[in-house]
Amino acid sequence: MKDVLTAPFMVEMIRTATNMYAHGWDERNGGNISLMLEENEVREYLDPEKALRTIPTGFAAPELEGKYFLVTGTGKYFKNVQYAPEVNLGIVRLKDRGQQADLLWGYADGGQFTSEFPAHMMSHAARLKVNPENRVVMHCHPANLLAMTYVHDLDEKQFTRTLWQMCTECIVVFPEGVNVLPWMLCGTNEIGEATAEKMKTARLVVWSQHGIYGAGKDLDETFGLIETAEKAAEIYMKIAHLPRVNTITDDQMHLLEKRFGVKAREGWLD
């Protein structure tokens, strides 16, 4: 079999984790990524019948039974992924209605997947119902989006409209807007269920005073989605204390809709 470290999905995962750390989004062991894989691509590198061990997931996700995921490990630092991927990443396959995961590769130090694994899997299940091409769930802690949750109204419509007004490209990149959760205890099924519910209507879900969840069809798309929202939040935090002389108007955003063939979330523009 081929060396799994040469697999395109592995190379891209390592590159993405490294880039996220370089952006300052994933301090220490903050943040996590899960990438859904196709069985045929896994079989080029691993024997799915040879599980190293089985890890309980702590939840049920029958719709994901038999699915394969490349996932960052719990307590692992993104800065170390490029140096020891076999310790910091793992490939698992869900079974028993998603209540168990067979480890096929990785977590070589005896570790396991991120503590946010339930939130990831619930979000995958929710997004697949909206877009069958969804493959990625990404969680990180971008500083400006976090800062914004301390000083901005957490109403989703108002939060989104502010981001849309900061950069011309925002309404084009995330026309469905950004959903927002109040502060909740992380690493629980409760926050996973709440995030999955929000994922039904948007690919970005802000965890107030914590971070953001993004979903997409590949790692590049999901990274770019978060990157765009974070740039908008950065601009907002630089000007929030200043009088607003100019802005991107709703009429101008309607022009962007027509120009780029997108549709803003219903009722969120005048």
Question: Which phi-psi region, left, alpha or beta, contains residue 147 (left: φ > 0; alpha: ψ -120 to 50)?
Answer: alpha
Q: Is 221 among the residues known to form the active site?
A: no
Here the tokens at position 188 are: 């629980």
Nearest to 170 by CA among 245, 246, 257, 270: 257
Between 156-166 and 219-239, two packed helices, what is the crossing angle to 10 degrees? 90
Name the active-site residue from 41, 44, 116, 193: 116
Give the integer Cα–Cα distance in Å for 106 and 121.
19
* 84 three-state secondary structure: coil
* 196 three-state secondary structure: helix
Asked whether 223 and 139 are in contact (CB, 8 A), the reply is no
Residue 204: which H helix or E strand, with range? strand 204-207
Q: In what order do the strands lie in the sheet with 100-106?
A: 53-56, 100-106, 89-95, 68-72, 32-37, 136-140, 211-216, 204-207, 179-181
Active-site annotation, residues: 116
